[in-house]
Amino acid sequence: MKIVDRHDEAPGVRTMKLEFQDPADHELFKETYRTGMFGLYGVYGEGESTFCVASPETRKEYIECTFRESGRVTSALARADIGDLVTFRGPYGNRFPLEEFYGKNLLFIAGGIALPPTRSVIWSCLDQREKFGKVTIVYGARTVADLVYKHELEEWMQRDDVELVLAVDPGGESPDWKHRIGFVPTVLEEAAPSPDNCVAVLCGPPIMIKFTLISLKKLGFDESNVYTTLENRMKCGLGKCGRCNVGSIYVCKEGPVFTAEEVSRMPAADL
Amino acid sequence: MTKILFTDKLDSCVERWRSAGMTVIGPVQRANSSVYGAVKSASELDLNLVLTDRSIKELFFPQSEPMLRYAITKAEINTDEFLPPSGPRIIFGARACDASGLAIDDPLFGWDYKDEYWFQRRNESVIVTIACTKADEFCMCTSLKLSPDSTKGSDILLRPLENNKGWQVEELTDRGREAFKSVADLLQEGSDPAAATVTVPEKFNADACAEWLKNPENFESRFWKEISARCIGCGSCTYLCPTCHCFDIQDEGGSFEGIRRKNWDSCSFALFTMHTSGHNPRSTQSARWRQRIMHKFNYFPGKFSANSCSGCGRCTRECPVDMGITETLQEISKLSQ
């Protein structure tokens, strides 16, 4: 796929916009892609790396992906420039069941670099806004600099049909920071969204998910109404290579989207 | 009347199969190790082994296999896919545990996405299994509800005659019948008595183990740390196992041309599940050993209705620290009493 746009989101975090070279591949993508699915992005000579499709299912003309430069493949992807070709395998995995969210209030909770998978669902819903009730987004990062999609955060902030709660960890604020200071679970409890007729989508590092689930429980959310994505190490994406197993689950086939209820039945030590 | 293949006719069979365009493969000695390798004549076959050191798996799922060649120019990326080497072959002298191992892995490679590398080789191979007349202390097929003369995964089963004179031939599949049609005139009808297959004592109760493993309370048992304390994570048990199938995909070459390969990997390796972030869900050797046992005897049977183990015992036979599945399941059998 060709890189048609790219920009830096935060230190070491970059978004790339990719366009298909082969119309047949693009058609297949349009037929199959639903929000929540992931891909294997690669650079020949370096290998492939797994991350989500960050663009929504309502915009299938391109693929956007956001990644942190942290290993061999992501470093190579970060070196690639506009016009360069990179590889994409996918989309793989299951999806957020958007139809089941129709008519419900939505609560999105994300931490740091986990906003990209959440953003895919957020835009998939905002692009058909009339089908959903109240939309609340709680997003936190370690520092102001680490917040991704700053221009979109600004846009959500301006919208009167979205409530955006932004936070940075204590010490991560800048002198002009006007939003909340605190860890995501605490900020969530302070914001106290109602669990009535509400579905929560939660993405973040394992430790954030662990504590946010406790907060959601305190707020009265049922585990069956909380969705999350497991981002295990994956390689084949086809349920064969054995790398992404959590218990009997192949995350690449049966996930990455699970309800908190499903996750609670998995062996916690494997997560 | 039973068909008999007498030992002195085997060389003619090999010649016949080879001249029909089949590659003939069987147990051979290569570089101080016994493997399944291609032969030109029956004299190269070593059919008296209890078992080859290396399993049959690598004939279907090689340790390292090219998948794709890439060449990058300024304007475009050109790729050529490698396809599995094509051609009919007959594997003569497989052991029942190795043939069973292939049948155990078929649903995994066929689940959802059908792995053409595996199935092309499966479809082009005739598996001629020889029932075992000897075993060693590590053999455990009977503990896995298999047997030294199991037909699972085989196209032909040969039962050795007394005094090594030859074999009774049991044709099990059309593929096997087809391969033996070309040597029909070399077979004889007869009623020579088959030698007794070896008796392999049951070493553990697989059903009781499965029940113990299914109990979530046992997931965090101290047992895992104790039983795996001496595991050094070398992965040799997984590489030698006929059913272990974990792999990695790696690029080999430079920025402009090279090959993408599928290589064996192992759930025993510390980096197997390591995330780039540094988070490692299975960061201890005991967690990795638990995963291996759970996968083989709890998760895999839950998904594919068979244990991911055919009882060959190589994991124990070749373990540098004398661990292995047998000991673990024996201990679990005791715990579940």
Helix (H) or strand (E) holding B67: strand B64-72
Partners of residue A87 in chain B, C-beta under 8 Å:
77
Partners of residue A230 in chain B, C-beta under 8 Å:
none
Closest Cα in chain A, distance from residue B321 (Å): 25
CB-CB contact of B134 with B276 (8 Å) = no
Query: Alpha-carbon distance B311 to B242, whole Å?
Result: 9
Of the candidates B106, B280, B318, the one whose C-alpha atom is nearest the C-alpha of residue A243 is B280
Residue B302 touches chain A, beta carbons under 8 Å? yes
Predicted TM-score (pTM) of the model is 0.93
Q: What does the mean pLDDT of chain A come to? A: 95
Mutant choice from B60, B65, B249, B296 vs A, greatest count of A C-beta within 10 A = B249
CB spacing of B245 vs A240 below 8 angstroms: yes
What mean pLDDT do residues A208-212 have?
93
Quick count: other Cβ atoms within 10 Å of Cβ B113?
14
Query: Alpha-carbon distance B70 to B78, whole Å?
Result: 6
- Between A231 and B68, whose confidence is greater? B68
pLDDT at residue number A253? 94
Q: What is the pLDDT of residues B41-77, one digit of tens each?
A: 999 999 999 999 999 999 999 999 999 999 988 777 8
Residue A35 touches chain B, beta carbons under 8 Å? no
B62: amino acid identity, one letter: P
Residue A262 has pLDDT above 90, yes or no: yes
Residue A246 touches chain B, beta carbons under 8 Å? yes
Find how far residue A62's CA is from the centre of its chain.
Answer: 17
Q: Which of B115, B251, B255 sits opposite A240 (nearest CB)?
A: B115
Q: Which of B76, B249, B250 sits opposite A236 (nearest CB)?
A: B249
In the sheet where B89-94 sits, what is the strand order?
A: B33-38, B23-30, B89-94, B125-130, B156-160, B166-171, B2-6, B188-190
Residue B220 touches chain A, beta carbons under 8 Å? yes
Q: Which of A71, A238, A267 sits opposite B112 (nearest CB)?
A: A238
Closest Cα in chain A, distance from residue B82 (Å): 16
Reported as a pLDDT band with limits 50, 70 and 90, residue A67 is: very high
Partners of residue B265 in chain A, C-beta under 8 Å:
241-243
Residue B122 touches chain A, beta carbons under 8 Å? no
pLDDT at residue number B112? 87
Q: Mind giving me the DSSP string for B200-224? A: ----S-HHHHHHHHH-GGGTT-THH
Q: Which of A70, A238, A241 sits opposite B277 (nearest CB)?
A: A70
Residue A12 touches chain B, beta carbons under 8 Å? no
Token output for A130 = 């009339």
Residue B72 touches chain A, beta carbons under 8 Å? yes
Query: Alpha-carbon distance B328 to B220, whole Å?
Result: 15
Mutant choice from B76, B111, B263, B273 vs A, greatest count of A C-beta within 10 A = B273
User: Interface pTM (ipTM) of the complex?
Assistant: 0.89
Contacts of B152 (CB under 8 A, 6+ apart): B96, B99, B100, B103, B146
Closest Cα in chain A, distance from residue B278 (Å): 10
pLDDT at residue number B121? 96
Residues of chain B with pLDDT under 70: none
A75: amino acid identity, one letter: S
Strand positions, DSSP E, A44-162: 47-52, 63-68, 87-92, 105-111, 135-141
Partners of residue B247 in chain A, C-beta under 8 Å:
235-236, 240-242
Query: Alpha-carbon distance A235 to A243, whole Å?
Result: 7
Of the candidates A129, A115, A10, the one whose C-alpha atom is nearest the C-alpha of residue A52 is A115
Size of interface A-B (CB pairs under 8 A): 99
The dihedrals phi and psi of A176, each to the nearest 5 degrees, come to -100, 15
Closest Cα in chain B, distance from residue A77 (Å): 12
Q: Which of A45, A246, A248 sits opposite B302 (nearest CB)?
A: A248
Q: What is the pLDDT of residues A122-143, one digit of tens each?
A: 999 999 999 999 999 999 999 9
